[in-house]
């Protein structure tokens, strides 16, 4: 089914942003436990991971904006609403995943870097940061599934 005009452009941007923002964010989250266990040797990578989680977490706002721009357009007159359960669920999960990235993972990594810089051991942060990484990644997976399947639509 073709997607002409502004809807096609927004859909293309939405999908590309999802691939190039959420993909790397999930990959960084998957690497976090190993980096925390590595200790001082992984300090440069931990610093980078903290910046990437913060940057990609904020960049995910662009995905939500392009998605919101498509809601009332739809292709071939298929009008969607923010009250559609799959869309509302996706938005809620996006907020949860983004919130975890920005409020749990990125600060946890920053604290871990500070602890390692001070000569301490950052492994005590492993549970919280890893749990956040797993939960946010699971949210992203469910969001993608909801976007593809659109249950109830």
Q: What is the mean pLDDT of residues 33-45?
A: 92
CB 75 within 8 A of CB 1: yes
Residues whose CB is less than 8 angstroms from the CB of residue 129 and which lie 6 or more positions away in sequence, other chains included: 32, 33, 36, 104, 105, 108, 109, 112
CB 74 within 8 A of CB 7: yes
**131-151 pLDDT, tens per residue?**
999 999 999 999 999 988 888
CB 90 within 8 A of CB 37: no
Q: What is the mean pLDDT of residues 102-122?
A: 93
Decide if pLDDT at 110 tops 60: yes
The pTM score is 0.86
R_g over Cα of the chain: 18
Q: If DSSP codes are grouped into helix, strand and coil, which group holds residue 78?
A: coil
**46-105 pLDDT, tens per residue?**
999 999 999 999 999 999 999 888 876 665 446 577 778 888 999 999 999 999 999 999
Give domain limits for the chain. 5-149
Decide if pLDDT at 2 tops 70: no
Q: In the structure, what pLDDT confidence band is assigned to residue 9 with cuts at 50, 70 and 90?
A: confident
Categorise residue 119: left if φ over 0, alpha if ψ from -120 to 50, beta otherwise. Answer: left
List, in sequence order, the alpha helices (H) in the chain.
Answer: 5-17, 23-38, 43-70, 85-100, 106-117, 126-149
Q: Say what the pLDDT of residue 1 is.
A: 52
In angstroms, the Cα distances linking 135 to 14, 18, 78, 105, 153 are 22, 18, 32, 11, 26
């Amino acid at each position: 089914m073709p997607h002409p005009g502004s809807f096609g452009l927004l859909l293309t941007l939405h999908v590309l942003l999802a691939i190039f923002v959420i993909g790397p964010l999930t990959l960084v989250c998957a690497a976090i436990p190993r980096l925390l266990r590595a200790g001082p040797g992984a300090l440069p990578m931990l610093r980078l991971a903290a910046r990437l989680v913060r940057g990609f977490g904020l960049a995910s706002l662009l995905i939500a904006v392009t998605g919101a721009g498509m809601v009332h357009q739809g292709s071939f007159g298929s009008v969607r609403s923010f009250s559609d359960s799959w869309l509302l669920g996706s938005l809620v999960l996006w907020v949860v995943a983004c919130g975890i990235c920005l409020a749990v993972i990125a600060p946890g990594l920053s604290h871990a870097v500070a602890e390692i810089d001070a000569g301490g051991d950052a492994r005590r942060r492993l549970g919280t940061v890893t749990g956040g990484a797993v939960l946010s990644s699971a949210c992203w997976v469910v969001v993608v599934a909801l976007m593809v399947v659109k249950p109830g639509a």
